[in-house]
Structure 1
Amino acid sequence: MPLSTNFLNRPAGLPEELVTFIAEQLDLPAEALADYASREQTMTDHARELATALGLRGATRTDVPFMIDAAAKAAWATDRGAVIAVGVIDALREARILVPSVSTVERAGIAGRARARKQAAHALLSGLRPEQLDALEALLITEPDKGITTLTRLKAIPTAVKPDHVRDILDRLHQVKEIGIPASLSASVHPDRYRQFIREGRASPAYLIERYTASRRRATLVACLIDLEERLTDAAIEMADKLIGTAFSRAKNTQARRYAATSKDVARLMRLFRHGRLAPACDAPRALRTPDASGVGRERQVPSTSTQNCKRPWDGRGQAAWRSGFPDI
């Protein structure tokens, strides 16, 4: 493992475990190293000799751009300082360069993170036309009739299930699509970095986004619009589905109520038949059309049966009486 000059140059005494380990490697008693580095230059000279023997070298000012590049690569997907610092140290180890002081690594990490943010912003803005950039800037202008910015109005998606809200969502979706931001731009940056732009766009108010630098502001708006298009589409489909389901449920309930009312009428009618209250209707003559011998039809009046025979035509006596009154049937 490469040695660190920062560790070798520490003014305090060496740890006892390290002294014991080195003494065993050199086949010397640990007491022989008690007075080691009583002169600070001795430790520095030995560190330089060890680095030369291991093929290592100390970090110089010319290595700062290299460390910034390594930090930018590590920060392409995240802003976490620990991850960026590990990326810088790993790059130094691969280049067989001794790790410099913590402050140097920290400054290189901050510069690399800023470069990664700028690169991601330029990647999101690549291919956009000037009129599209102007449309992005117009989202931060306050609408006189509503008193809020266009971006704030677009981000306020209705949630109540109403037909008017479906129309409002579709109007917002149409306005977002008019700007013409392709969704494929999201693939030009790392997914974690893209989600970070989305989180900033959702959480940050319009006046705060307006204070960003031009590239960061426009990149945040691009990610916000792509996310808005997806959310508005999902909201419109979900709300329309709920409205259709509500309409079907309402129609089903109406049909059930109508069926219940009709069943009551049918039951009442059957009770009237059962108790013979509709029997007087059987006294009315019925006109039947029967063919004569020549094949020409003729009408004749069928004599009506008595009320007593019409009361219950479904039992045996009623059927016999019914048929006796209609000999042709």
Structure 2
Amino acid sequence: MTQMHASSRPSPALTHRPRRLRRSPAMRRLVAETRLHPASLVLPVFVREGIESPRPITSMPGVMQHTLDSLREVATAAAEAGLGGIMLFGVPAERDAEGSAGDDPDGILNRALRAVVAEVGGELVVQSDLCLDEFTSHGHCGVLDAAGFVDNDATLERYTAMAVAQAEAGAEILGLSGMMDGQVAAVRGALEAAGHADTGILAYAAKYASAFYGPFREAVDSQLQGDRRSYQQDPANRREGLREAQLDLDEGADIVMVKPAMSYLDVLSDVARLSTVPVWAYQVSGEAAMIEAAAQNGWIDREAAIRESLLSIARAGADTILTYYALEAAAWN
């Protein structure tokens, strides 16, 4: 009897061969479960008062603090790229304890909103960050009480004033990022009373006290003293993210957000299963900075890492992603 070597034995019949659908780039593209489209990306942009030319942010390679003129150019580029929207953050020349520049019609953020709306209104959804941290001399997201603690209800009064000012400046969506209890209901009521019922509310529903915000602090020239752990969520807590999202949904949020994105994909997935409105996620400054630093050292393929990071966020359930890579990624489609 002839002995058959193991290598010459016929392979058993395999009914399931998943590799069939991975054989070529065309096949992989055809069966991809998750796709990125420029319209599902929003570009965060910083506009700074008192500068005469765009200023690089050292901890965020490729990202600038813009003048009003360069902001218009970026907004036009975003519209031409087919992005879903642009989110504006203002950096004022002067700050005070109340964040007065935040609701000043002539404050940098409100002037920027009017400029962008005039430039690309109707072509791009113009959005604004609604928070006090950029505008306060202490860097917190609200006003402080006598003990130095962020006063939730006093802060809501400031948020409602900012909401009306931003709506009047032309913002179509207000990004409520301060994590104050009841902020969505308070802002919705103020908008309705002021005749801005059509202005949308993006609730930063699950926003965590993250170490990955570091470069953003440079971007907005943050004056933060202490930390924000008394109002932003504890990174240890998953269920709390669902609770916060449900509260914002109950208060009338039009969109809910999870921030940061990549370190909280479990929370993002939870919120996506719960929500009856669009779910967004923010790929924050530190997440992008890690990619840039590793790529600069030759440790990773930069473009592949950006693609994979954005796909992972979409795969976890984000309908739209705020990312500093929005313009670059739009060109890949």
For this structure pair, what is the TM-score category when the shorter chain's length is used for normalisation?
under 0.3
**Which of the pair is proportionally richer in strand?**
2
Q: Which has the larger radius of gyration?
A: 1
Q: Higher helix share goes to which structure?
A: 1
TM-score of the pair, normalised by structure 1: 0.19
